[in-house]
Structure 1
Amino acid sequence: MDNDAFNMSISNDKISDVKALEAFQAAMACGSMTAAAKQLGIGQPAVTRQIKELEDSVGFPLFHRNGPRISPTERGLQFYGEVQRLMSGLHQIRERAAAIRDGQIAAIDIAATPTMAGGLLSPTLALMGEDLPGVVNIETMNAEHVARAVTSRAADFGISALPLEHATLEAKVICESRLVAAIAEGGPFDVDGPLALEALSAARLLTVGNAYRIRGKINGALKREDITPSGEIVTNSSLNAMMAARAGLGIAIIDPVTAFGIPVEGVAIRPLSVSLPYIWGLFSAAGRVLPGELLSFAAGFEAACKATIPDCVFHDPADVRTLERSSL
């Protein structure tokens, strides 16, 4: 976000009223001042006043107003992201204070990409047994934000595929497998053995669109073998690609965490005829000394990877930079 958007009078500590931030959150979520007031259990004039005072504090309008209708301004949308992070942090502080008060194990805060959260987090937590704390906070985000959340210690752990900016991170677990094909069970491509890339000459390619991650490896393999898919369906989620494969729309080439961690009925998972590495890991802030329950989480994550992903290989976390370069 640009500096102008946040030219807020912080020096005067004008944004100190949590209730105003809660009113802003509610108005964004509900779409009107009246609905926000009902959600918060206060009067509509109070919500309107709190948001007007917040706008005066930050120095820019948060909403466009058209009678009872409101819609966020561009700066309002940007500010909302910052408020969400702040309020999430305040919520975590309250939870941790309650845990300290009650003599309970502190919460665990995890930042993970959607793939990792969907495919590996639940079995990891289940394997913690009695070490699982009463509160577990999970936020899904892209890899770049995972790194930032761990570095700032907004999260105890980050889980993401490589590459990942990790100059200020410490790898705890590094695991490698291969991209796989997902196809409709009983369909024309559902045959025993590895699926040849040549099959894409007669089928749509279903995959994710980030050229610097899975898609880049697929593009390189197709170029080396001089194969042009008959068409494409591009998405930002491997699970979406699997669902398209189930509908018979083509061949999905996806990560093994989604393929085996989120199995979809009616979808067969097959190895590819070419080896396209997929490496992921568990990270914490560099130099941080982890308490016992967090060490238990790391052990559970390694066990969950081993149990979920066939033929996965573990690497020395200290070799993460070499592995990252070799996987590109």
Structure 2
Amino acid sequence: MKHRQLEAFQTVMVSGSTVRAAELMGVTQPAVSRLIAELENSVRFPLFDRVQGRLLATPEARLFFREVEASFRGLDRLRAAAAAIRDHGSGVLRFGCFAAGSVDLAPAAIRAFRARHPRVRLTLHVTWSSAIRDGVVDGTYDIGLAADEIDQSGIVSRPFYVHAGQIVMPAGHPLARHETIRPEHLAGVPLLGLVPEDRARQRMDAVLLEAGVTPEYIVETPNSATICALAISGDAVGLVNPIVTGRLPADVVLRPFVPQVQFRSLLLFPAHVQKSLLLKDFEGELLRFRSTGGR
């Protein structure tokens, strides 16, 4: 039993004659008759009787036709599904993102992606970088954006961005008069810091200690955006990832820190899993917005 034989049978059943079926299939009438005969040999019961010059389907053929129709409808659905996936995309994309990337970058990339793939459901989960890494490993996330302090075993990672950290402070802070902030400027100054396991925090502490400055942290948080919010009032300052500084209020200012303390992030993917077209498109949107932080 071959697909071409079933196609000839279905076409004859719908059109009512082998002549019309031949026209629809783009073949000769004898070719259609031969396909029907081959199918009868395969199923081992007659499909048509010729009565007074007309081709009439047997009762067995009508029963068989129901199954053939169901099979062809299934093929049509498969073709439609393939076209939808190819032309529009469908399904779910799961994205794990660390806090700094979720402020402007991730929303901008998601908006641009959804404009092209409105039928795709995209989930965004903001959490710790280590949890993002674990989620990529166990299949919770299709793609992750994380800081570089993670264990990179068991995943595929690629560098995403490297940004020089900046010092955020209230607009009226004494340090605001400096064009750049150096380690010695922070001696005795209350600091807003990232958590100790953060690589940028560790790099910052190393720079301060090398300059003979003992950091005096009064608040620690995993989120640069929180440091910006805490700096609005009071006398504390903090090193922040510039990716979160796109919408700072007028009563806080930023100053470059010298020597540079870099914030580094990684894109994470499951190991041994091919990227889907949708995932490649979303990765492209993230890369497009990485230099501007989503702005």
Task: Please give the TM-score of this superposition, normalised by the length of structure 2.
Answer: 0.64
1 CA distance for matches of 2:279 and 2:94?
10
- Correspondence 1:142 to 2:128: yes
CA RMSD, 1 decimal: 2.6
- Correspondence 1:197 to 2:183: yes
93, 96, 106: which is aligned to 1:108?
93
1 CA distance for matches of 2:187 and 2:129?
32
Give the CA deviation at 1:212: 4.6
For residue 214 of structure 1, give the secondary structure of its aligned residue in structure 2: helix
For residue 177 of structure 2, give the secondary structure of its aligned residue in structure 1: coil
Larger Rg: 2
2 CA distance for matches of 1:278 and 1:224?
19
* Match runs of 1:208-227 below 5 Å: 208-227=194-213
* Match runs of 1:1-328 below 5 Å: 105-128=90-113, 129-131=115-117, 133-191=119-177, 193-229=179-215, 232-260=218-246, 263-308=248-293
Give the CA deviation at 1:110: 0.6
Give the CA deviation at 1:119: 3.7
Give the CA deviation at 1:229: 4.2
Contact 2:108 2:294 in 1 (8 A): no
2 CA distance for matches of 1:133 and 1:197?
51
Give the CA deviation at 1:279: 0.8
2 CA distance for matches of 1:268 and 1:134?
39
2 CA distance for matches of 1:233 and 1:177?
23
Q: Please name the residue that 1:25 is paired with.
A: none
1 CA distance for matches of 2:138 and 2:215?
42
For residue 198 of structure 1, give the secondary structure of its aligned residue in structure 2: helix
Gaps of 5+ in 1: 1-99, 311-328
Give the CA deviation at 1:177: 1.3
In the alignment of these two chains, the number of paired residues is: 210
Contact 1:180 1:269 in 2 (8 A): yes
CA-to-partner distance for each residue in 1:132-156, whole Å, 9 max, x for gaps? 5441111122111111111112111
For residue 163 of structure 1, give the secondary structure of its aligned residue in structure 2: coil
Contact 1:204 1:231 in 2 (8 A): yes
CA-to-partner distance for each residue in 1:222-277, whole Å, 9 max, x for gaps? 110011345532233222221221113311112222234x5344221221021112
For residue 308 of structure 1, give the secondary structure of its aligned residue in structure 2: coil
Gaps of 5+ in 2: 1-80
Q: Percent identity?
A: 13
Give the CA deviation at 1:284: 1.0
CA-to-partner distance for each residue in 1:142-173, whole Å, 9 max, x for gaps? 11111111111211111101022222211245
Contact 2:193 2:217 in 1 (8 A): no
